[in-house]
Structure 1
Amino acid sequence: MAYPLSYATLATDYSGDPLPWSLGVMALAVVTLTGASVLLRAKTYAVLRLQGMSYTAILMRDLRQTAGFWLVSFGGVVAVTLSALGLYNGCARLGLFASIALGIAAFLTLLVLGSHAAVLALVFRVGILSSLKGELPSRAATISLYVVRVPALLLALSIALSVVMAGQNVLKRQENRDVYRSVGDAVSIRLSGAFATRLDELDRKVGPWLRAADARGEIVVAGRGISR
């Protein structure tokens, strides 16, 4: 029996699922918004540097200022999530959902902290007077821009590909529905390979039905295929 939170189980359940792509979009948005918020306060950081504050002191100051907002946001997200789960499945397997949600939240939190620290270090590479004017190191800023732009392009292409594949799947399902509609009241059965060791029992249960259908002049087609 596989543990529901094991890597193998999660990889099997979510492979091909839109959830990983959604997580990538969220991660990209987190990096972009965090970096933009730090860059918009470049002049404020320059003033703090004039007052003698170090990189570590400014970083800890930012974390203290956002701690209250994070706690309020965390409480709001927990309340909304529990309400949604209550409406969705009556909070069934709450521990499983909570573990996955906390894992995603921890990943995004580390991403926020890393992005904030990295962009703040980028701001510190500029002289204080230049920083007061809102200037940034051009080379580092360009590299940071492409670090965000390339994943965004890849995500956009992957989402577009998923939309195309979903459209093809819908068209294929429509074609299959048309085939079943043309068949009318025909009945078909599919026998799994799991019955290969119990052919006698299978013949006793299914054989009479097939022979009766053949005696009535109905067409019985038997085929062997591979399920996918």
Structure 2
Amino acid sequence: MGLWSSIKNKIKKAAKKVWRVVKAVVRVVVRVVMTVVGLVLGIFDLLLGFVAWPPKKLRLHIFILSDQNGPLVNPGDLTLAIDFARKTLKDRFNVKLLPYSEGMVEIITAPAPSAALVVHCDSGAFKEEFGEAGEYFAKHLAGWNAIPISLTFPITAFVVRDIVGKQGCSLGPLSDYLTLDLAGVKSDSTLAHEIGHSCSLWHSKTQSNLMWPDTKRGNQVKWFQKNLLRSSRHVMYW
């Protein structure tokens, strides 16, 4: 490879990284705007959500990623987690969990990039939002194509191979997706817990609470958690 070809390749790689960052920044800005709008529209529940009335809806779409050996898990492996999330949302928040499209679980058969198969949480996940993993997840978000294409603002869950040091991860209300690894799929409560994070709930110091950080959590919630979750832009009346 000649010097000029080497320089061109480096320029292309640098430009690609810059473009990824630009797209990620745009996504964050759009989500901030949508979150603020959601809070304004959800002011009733932000103040009186503890009443848990009238019923609301939250739409979820789960993508199972694949590697070179095929899908990481079978759709049936998620039944326990989905049932727990559905029951908890209904019993504690009066929120009905619905599939975004015809089915709630879908397999992406094309092998995912390694950056999306093994991910991090917290600050590591935020950093990955601006890289290959974030770009991959953004490309497959339910209800999004650079900008919202749906007025239901679904949450997308991606089943990955591993989340370093965690079983599930959500970047909170400014993100539209969460991740579950193979251990998180086997846990009955991790999906519901991460949905809580996506709907503005933070960790609780009470073990019986849904937002207890360990998998030995319960599904109890406090009144203000009802206010926060029901006022989330992901939780709608329609």
Place the TM-score, normalised by the shorter chain, in its bin: under 0.3
TM-score, with normalisation over the residues of structure 1? 0.26
Structure whose CA Rg is larger: 1
Which has the larger helix fraction? 1
TM-score, with normalisation over the residues of structure 2? 0.25
Which has the larger strand fraction? 2
